[in-house]
Amino acid sequence: MHAIDPHVRPTKQDRSQRSFERIVEATIGLLRERSYEDIRLAEICERSGVSTGALYGRVGGKDDLLRAVQVRFLAELALRFEAHAVRIARGSHGLADTVPAVVGALGNLLDENAGVLRAFMRASATDPAIEEVGKRSAQQNHARFSALLMRHVDEIRHPQPERAVASGMLLVYSAQARSLGLDNVSGQLGAAEWQALLRDLSDMMLAYLTFGQASTHQIYNQHSNSND
């Protein structure tokens, strides 16, 4: 994890770099346990085995540390998205295989990292830097999975395949994020309920993409025109 980050003071010393990486890992570990607001810098230093002075030698404070953690964490998460995309591409044959694979992979990646992602989403409400990095990461990761679905564009019956895939991915992500409490509104589902949700989202996504030409958006347009 050596991503270039404007929130971290540069160093030429390998020892300092390794110490900061331990700080990042300790922060991520604590974020899996509780909210960032409840984590003290002294606690991070204690878990990482790095002095408070060494931490402040690399970042200006707690806000900069979270920004640095986000950059590094999302870079690692992007590699996991790519690995899943490669696996799905090799093992899925047709839209009926690819849709549940994509929905499941996205959901499981969010579930496994919910505590960390929740911290970034909460901070993004007041921190433009975190908001921008988070949006860019989500767009890139969703683009990887959307490309998997577009490989089977010949099976998509929606008249605007790219739009349908984009809308479907957005709805799937929104439902998963809300169910995991990433928006701080809803609580987490039980294991059985979560798996049922993934199946339901897969079914709905597949049905939406393969719906016939007499689609609801055409009906909507007809109603809109009649009301003009």
pLDDT of residue 169: 96
Region 67-96: mean pLDDT is 95
* More reliable by pLDDT, 22 or 222: 22
pLDDT greater than 90 at residue 205? yes
Query: Is residue 21 domain-resident?
Result: no
22-28 contact pairs (CB < 8 A, 24+): 22/48, 22/49, 22/50, 23/48, 23/50, 23/55, 23/58, 23/65, 24/68, 24/69, 24/72, 24/73, 27/65, 27/66, 27/69, 28/69, 28/73, 28/116
Domain carrying residue 141:
69-214
Rounded to whole angstroms, the Cα distance separating 107 from 173 reads 8
Query: Is residue 138 domain-resident?
Result: yes
* More reliable by pLDDT, 190 or 73: 73
List pLDDT tens digits, range 98-123.
Answer: 999 999 999 999 999 999 999 999 99
- 161-179 and 95-112 helices, crossing angle to 10°: 30
pLDDT greater than 80 at residue 223? no
Query: Is residue 128 domain-resident?
Result: yes
List pLDDT tens digits, range 144-159.
Answer: 999 999 999 999 999 9
> What's the CATH number where 96 sits?
1.10.357.10
Cβ–Cβ < 8 Å for 123, 182: no
pLDDT of residue 15: 75
Query: Is residue 115 domain-resident?
Result: yes
Q: Which of 73-82, 99-108, 179-188 has the lowest mean pLDDT?
A: 179-188
Cβ–Cβ < 8 Å for 116, 28: yes
pLDDT greater than 60 at residue 227? no
pLDDT greater than 60 at residue 207? yes
Q: Which of 21-35, 138-152, 213-227 has the lowest mean pLDDT?
A: 213-227
pTM recorded for the entire structure: 0.85
Q: How many domains does the chain have?
A: 1
Query: Is residue 175 domain-resident?
Result: yes
